[in-house]
Amino acid sequence: MSDLAQAIGWTAPEGWPAMSREDCVAALTAPGARFEMENIDIRGVPTRVWKNAPTNLRVIAELGRSHGDREFTVYEGERVTYDAWYRAVATLAHEFQTRGIRKGDRIALAMRNLPEWPVAFFAAVTIGAICVPLNAWWTGPELAYGLKNSGARILVCDAERWERIQPHRQDCPDLEAAIVSRTDGEPADAATLESIIGTPADFAGLPLADLPDVSIDPDDDATIFYTSGTTGNPKGALGTHRNLCTNILSSGFNAACAALRRGEQPPEPVAKTGLMVIPLFHVTACSANLMGGIAAGNKLIFMHKWDPVEAFQIIEREKVNVTGGVPTIAWQLLEHPERKNYDLSSLEAIAYGGAPAAPELVRKIREVFGALPGNGWGMTETMATVTGHSSEDYLNRPDSCGPPVAVADLKIMNEDGTAELPVGEVGELWARGPMIVKGYWNNPEATAATFTDGWVHTGDLAKLDGEGFCYIVDRAKDMIIRGGENIYSSEVENVLYDHPAVTDAALIGLPHTQLGEEPAAVVHLAPGEQASEDELRAWVGERLAKFKIPVRIAFSEDTLPRNANGKILKKDLQSFFTS
């Protein structure tokens, strides 16, 4: 048991773990097993893959069709069944082909989480087009950049996004047509999505047609997801059908491992109800959640805007089993004073990724909700899941993001990428497997700098333990060097999170003439809680070396600013210390 596990008050049940991680992998991937693997060549790199993974996204669409009248999406009273969704997908796919879209053409998708989003996505990818999900938080010029960079021929968007994009349409020379949903009247220079497939209430009445007949190989291009880089223009990560399909078995593999570790047989897949509060234009939602959700026949509930009280109401009314997304959402569900007024007993798991989580959060999820905590690591360039961590393993190692799934490999490299570091040493995390994207769209220089023989250089500083569990300690660019001493921001942030008054924390570096930089923190306190700067500095000083104590701590009235992927925008925190 780790020191942090003891610190959060977790004691391993008698007999746990019932199997070693190595034995779990061997049992689950044995010949004939559901998670059997095989070795194939992907772009010249020998790669382990799930033998039973769907071959492409058309297969996932047909799996969705097989769920018939089971509810698929719920959004503010709009309920769409799998059958109705498939009818809309097929209708829109034929429309795309009528408009001249062929295999390899790009179709951009820019809208909030709406029932139309998975319709447009699958209508594009099932005919071999490349879907380009654009960040719905972007400004007009940013959206225009994505359209121009990807060379999208068609844009499917909602009215709000069209309002931003329309003034910049002249900057998108390849864009031939825009199809806009949920607009009042006829939009200028665009068609309405409703004129093609109707509103979500109309989907069930559309003709029952098959998808257009298009041959798609597993390693054909499927998506361009733009990175959430905070410097320079975003890069488009070019994903394949195999990348997205891999996630379905990766998620199931992690759940099966957790069962074997506690001495149980892996459960058969059962349809669940999930509250999806992270945007579908991010790989965590689209690849890790949506793909597996369709395969399993899950019901997915979308929210117009995140609100904890509305989330409580939805969880109680719809008997939600799974939610999460990023740690901030879990904290808000835990700390909100109205939580006690709702029946949240249906919750079975609260899972998140995309940002480091405080170890204390793991304990509180189990203690307050009686739900299993879940975590994992991935990035846009890995199409989400590379590691998975849940249940007792997560409680036992609350500062880890878990071990890699069986088809993935991790290694820790030195600063110049020339040598692999031994167990326990911190260096740059490299990852390899069938989930790794091809590279960056139309950017050979960035591709060459980031991808080497199937490995992606993640930019994360991490270490591995003797059993292969991964510990992300910082982003390389976020590490603070104070007078030659390395300070990993997550270490200090976790200590701040352990303080009972703190629910959000981030460490940044402040310039210093002699030392180079010094650590400073911005925190957000839980409602009704109080803590002073001196108190929090003393709290850190009791637990970490003196050079790691923040020289200043600022307080934010709101939760800290994040991008759409849940990562704190640390560059925006400098303003707390400029006065």
Structure token digits, residue 65: 């069709």
Backbone conformation region of residue 77, classed left if phi is above 0, alpha if psi is from -120 to 50, else beta:
left
Q: Is the pTM of this model over 0.85?
A: yes
Residue ranges and CATH numbers for the domains of the chain are: 23-32+243-475 (3.40.50.12780), 79-237 (3.40.50.980), 479-577 (3.30.300.30)
Q: Per-residue pLDDT for the chain (579 aa), expressed as one digit of tens each?
A: 666 777 778 888 999 999 999 999 999 999 999 999 999 999 999 999 999 999 999 999 999 999 999 999 999 999 999 999 999 999 999 999 999 999 999 999 999 999 999 999 999 999 999 999 998 988 898 899 999 999 999 999 999 999 999 999 999 999 999 999 999 988 989 999 999 999 999 999 999 999 999 999 999 999 999 986 544 678 999 999 999 999 999 999 999 999 999 999 998 889 999 999 989 999 999 999 999 999 999 999 999 999 999 999 999 999 999 998 877 788 889 989 999 999 999 999 999 875 557 778 888 898 999 998 999 999 999 998 999 999 999 999 998 999 999 999 999 999 899 999 999 999 999 999 999 999 999 999 999 999 999 999 999 999 999 999 999 888 777 889 887 777 888 889 988 998 999 999 999 999 887 777 899 999 999 888 999 999 999 999 998 888 899 999 999 999 999 887 677 889 899 999 986
Residue 542: partners with Cβ closer than 8 Å, 6 or more residues away: none
Q: Residue 74 in contact with residue 302, Cβ under 8 Å?
A: yes
Number of other residues whose CB lies within 10 A of the CB of residue 534:
9
Backbone conformation region of residue 566, classed left if phi is above 0, alpha if psi is from -120 to 50, else beta:
left
Q: How far apart are CA 231 and CA 516, in angstroms?
A: 21
* Residue for token pair 């995140």: 306
